[in-house]
Amino acid sequence: EAGVTQSPTHLIKTRGQQATLRCSPISGHTSVYWYQQALGLGLQFLLWYDEGEERNRGNFPPRFSGRQFPNYSSELNVNALELEDSALYLCASSGPYEQYFGPGTRLTVT
Amino acid sequence: GENVEQHPSTLSVQEGDSAVIKCTYSDSASNYFPWYKQELGKRPQLIIDIRSNVGEKKDQRIAVTLNKTAKHFSLHITETQPEDSAVYFCAARSGAGSYQLTFGKGTKLSVIP
């Protein structure tokens, strides 16, 4: 069974640009979660999508947004990039209980 | 909302010793408690979980215990090995139809050979 996949693996952007990150969940999972993990720090919850709807968002500004497609894949958009947005962005999908993470996208803002 | 506190933030043990990481949660409706292991440069991996109708669960050298009354749960690793060195995260899932997990801040475990 294929796991959670994310693309791209690495992304380098300049301050002020926009970044788009993509995630495909495990087959059969309808919920997708996005987390930000700055270097050496914990998992900061960003967004939760389920059945195409945004269910909850963490304490992040509106320039962090996303969507979920009919096939349950998801994308995260970060507008007006700032240097402190540099981090590992992890996507996870879940069924009723277990939540599994993708390999992450390393975003570097210069 | 749910709040999860995790202690200690760092833990060093000698190879072969046991390690214990503790977490407390605030929402008495929480019903699912997973633990993740994150090795350097890798994704968090689910290593063990426990549901609120169970007090203890074991899988080889790791075990998790849950005390619903006190609202805390713990990860126990016995006979630690160098490959157990990683950051461990606990999490809690609130009930009421939400699948969202609230994570602790993590414990960096170092196993000294």
Summarize pLDDT for A14-36 with one digit per residue, the tens.
999 999 999 999 999 999 999 99
Q: How many CA atoms lie within 13 A of B33 on its CB side?
A: 36
CA-closest candidate to residue B63, choices B75, B46, B73: B75
Cβ distance A45 to B32 less than 8 Å, yes or no, reads no
Cβ distance A99 to B45 less than 8 Å, yes or no, reads no
Cβ distance B34 to A98 less than 8 Å, yes or no, reads yes
Q: Is A58 on the interface with B (CB under 8 A)?
A: no
Cβ neighbours for A46, distance < 8 A, ≥ 6 positions apart: A33, A34, A35, A36, A57, A58, A60, A64, A76, A89
Of A42, A96, A102, nearest to B103 by CB-CB distance is A42
Chain B residue with minimal CA distance to A89? B43
Structure confidence at residue A1 as a pLDDT band (50, 70, 90): low
Choosing among B43, B47, B90, which should be mutated to test the A contact, i.e. which has the most A CBs within 10 A?
B43
Cβ distance A42 to B34 less than 8 Å, yes or no, reads no
Summarize pLDDT for A45-103 with one digit per residue, the tens.
999 999 999 999 999 999 999 999 999 999 999 999 999 999 999 999 998 889 999 99
CA distance B32 to chain A (A): 7
